[in-house]
Structure 1
Amino acid sequence: MATTALTKYQRLEAAGLWRADESAQRLDVIVSVGEATLTITDLRDRVQTHWSIAAIARANPGQRPAIYHPDGDPGETLELPEDEAEMIATIETLRSAVARQRPRPGRLRLIGVLAVLAAVIVLATVWLPGVVRDHALRVVPAVKRAEIGQALVGHLHRATGPACRGPGGRVALAALARRLPPRRGSARFTVVRSGLADVLRLPGGTMMIPARLVEAYEEPDVVAGHVIAAYLRAEARDPLERLLADAGPIATLRLLTTGHLIDETLRAHAETLVDTRREATPGDAMLDGFKHWQVRATPFATEHDMPVATRSALVDGDPFAPAVPPPPPILRDGDWLRLQGICGG
């Protein structure tokens, strides 16, 4: 209790009856408020006792005469008559001030329980899903990833139409896959008529290529650049991780415990992939990719919709600029022509 809260009461005195214990005779006394105590003196001005204001209890709340005693010692009492209302009010005010400053175990326990509950909720909603998802990415085998990818293909075909199967097209796609193998895992290339904004890499390695990327350009370097960009996106964020993040922790737990994802989960994720523009890959990463897969950057940069600064960086940094010996061809002319006609265009 602050000293200023006591200052206004320090000159207050009152008459009362005090006894030292249950067997003692009650004495007429004068009660005065001190720095942090009540001082009880007899009528000869001899101090009988000091009571700590912080340890005063009342035996009969709301009744008169008011009877007080030291907290824990109800045998020693101080009785203040009804006409000492100012002193009674003062003691009650000071007791209330002390009570407000005391710690409240019940409230502290409640605060503690709520804090723990909040921590559990944070763990359950923020930390735990990520941990479960990371564990799933480590333990789900390649065969299961391929199965999930093929299931997604089935749902995507509702928007893209079936994979194109023009004469010689599959041979050309196999040649493209051999020329541009992923750094990790495997790749199976397919071409679809519509529904995709860019090349899409699915869990298990399936690469879905929009037909416009093989039909609209005279050379395969452009589609090769899009394949490289899809590889780099998948390296930056595992396609299965994207699926599980969209599906939520329940679906992730279901995959871990049963080995399956329900059709509703796969269909919902497929809908998010249709005609969705993929996030741009940084120019320096793309240049490293063109160098690794030995593909010219300039055709991709000049044909692809991208910021001017990124386009300039790819053209200027092309690892196979005209002054450098050209890279191996992406496809033979015959395979490229067969790939351009895979959808019957």
Structure 2
Amino acid sequence: MTAFREYQRLEASGLWRAKPGAQRLEVIVSIGDATLVISDMNDRPLTHWSLPALHRANPGDTPALYHPDGDPGETLELAENETEMVAAIEKLRSAIGRARPQPGRLRRLIMLGMFASVTALILFWLPGQLRRHAVTVVPDVKREEIGDLLVDAMRGITGPACDDPSGQAALARLALRLAGPNGPPRLLVLPDGVRDTVSLPGGIILISRALVEDYEDPDVLAGFIIAESLRSQKEDALNRMLLATGPLSTAHLLTTGDMPEGSLRDYAKDILSRPTANLDATLLLETFKSRSVRSSPYAYARDISGESTLSLIEADPFAGQSLEPVLDDGDWIRLQGICGQ
């Protein structure tokens, strides 16, 4: 150790006692290789003390009093004026203490590491596992109930769902016409607050009344419903809600069977203001083809210039073909009046 070499020429006088009751002798103290060398006045070594095993009996007091660890009967007293030697001994003892293996520190490091690992599991792994488990075990009837509660929580923003009976019948026929792998969606037309479409747990798709009233071609509305259904297939609506409301809401759902009311209210507001997620054009075109619906009316409704939706226009799977309409004229007229005047 560099510190040992630094003090090897340092000497000091002191009083050494070999054992309890023995006469104290005046000695010369020097620092050897990891040892404290105690010699008589003729420079003959009397004993060597290991610095790692050196103990100070009176820390901070003077004159400094040392003894070998475990043998307090053999002592060495350094006078008050031997400050340089005392400082050297203390520095070497401190350096040796830092270099010595410390099981307590290792245990603390291990415990901290375990605590960090457990914390990471709780914060990052467990919430995802809980959410995925909830998405798997929550039955369809509970999903539908959650969806209805969200619709109720939105009423202050959207108003009640449009309920003209003939319009609702036409809307139900449209849902059957556009049914996907999970069956027909449950369609609700809302008078306000919805940008175009929003999907909720329970297979619910909310529709802006503008999509019903502002277009002459029912294929526009059909296209928005197809796109929203595809988003629901890509990301489960319940999973999206639990991801937004957090692990405490997930735990509450799993333990009580219900979502916290506050979480439902907050999510109801949040989802209405979220931007609509973009979809891959190729996948969207495949879905239009499987539902026998033209993609170009939807594309022009999204962008009247057609620039940003050109792929949906040019690759329309039914361009120039005659198709069975998604709704006949009578049903389309009835659906356009679902919100009344």
TM range (shorter): 0.7 to 0.9
The equivalent of 1:336 in structure 2 is 332
Letter in 2 for 1:277: P
Give the distance between the partners of 2:105 and 2:326, measured in 1 at CA: 72
The equivalent of 1:145 in structure 2 is 143
- State the TM-score, normalized to the length of structure 2: 0.87
Deviation larger for 264-273 or 24-33: 24-33
Give the one of 257, 260, 263 matched to 1:259.
257
Can you list the C-alpha shifts for 1:85-118, whole angstroms capped at 9, x where unaligned? 3322321232233344456666665555555444
Instruction: Determine what percentage of the aligned residue pairs are the same residue.
Output: 51
Q: 1:249 to 1:178 in 2, by over 3 A?
A: same
- State the TM-score, normalized to the length of structure 1: 0.86
The equivalent of 1:155 in structure 2 is 153
Give the aligned length. 341
The equivalent of 1:196 in structure 2 is 194
SS at match of 1:274: helix
Q: 1:108 to 1:238 in 2, by over 3 A?
A: same
Does the aligned pair in 1 maintain the 2:68–2:74 contact within 8 Å? yes
SS at match of 2:226: helix
Alignment of 1:316-327 (within 5 A): 316-322=314-320, 325-327=321-323
Alignment of 1:150-299 (within 5 A): 150-166=148-164, 168-184=166-182, 186-299=184-297
Cα drift, residue 230 of structure 1: 0.9
Does the aligned pair in 1 maintain the 2:15–2:76 contact within 8 Å? yes
Does the aligned pair in 1 maintain the 2:78–2:86 contact within 8 Å? yes
SS at match of 1:168: helix
Cα drift, residue 24 of structure 1: 5.8
SS at match of 2:187: strand
Can you list the C-alpha shifts for 1:26-59, whole angstroms capped at 9, x where unaligned? 5443221123222223344433333232321112
Give the distance between the partners of 1:66 and 1:162, measured in 2 at CA: 88
Does the aligned pair in 2 maintain the 1:283–1:310 contact within 8 Å? no
Give the distance between the partners of 1:307 and 1:234, measured in 2 at CA: 28
SS at match of 2:309: helix
Give the distance between the partners of 1:317 and 1:20, measured in 2 at CA: 102
Alignment of 1:103-122 (within 5 A): 113-122=111-120
Give the distance between the partners of 1:309 and 1:104, measured in 2 at CA: 70
Does the aligned pair in 2 maintain the 1:159–1:274 contact within 8 Å? no
Give the distance between the partners of 1:141 and 1:265, measured in 2 at CA: 20
Give the distance between the partners of 1:330 and 1:92, measured in 2 at CA: 92
Can you list the C-alpha shifts for 1:180-205, whole angstroms capped at 9, x where unaligned? 11322542222222210121221111
Does the aligned pair in 2 maintain the 1:197–1:276 contact within 8 Å? no
Can you list the C-alpha shifts for 1:279-313, whole angstroms capped at 9, x where unaligned? 22232332232233232221111220499764122
Unaligned ranges ≥5, structure 2: none
Deviation larger for 57-66 or 139-148: 57-66
SS at match of 1:38: strand
Give the distance between the partners of 2:9 and 2:250, measured in 1 at CA: 73
Unaligned ranges ≥5, structure 1: none
Cα drift, residue 214 of structure 1: 1.8
Alignment of 1:67-82 (within 5 A): 67-82=65-80
Alpha-carbon RMSD: 2.9
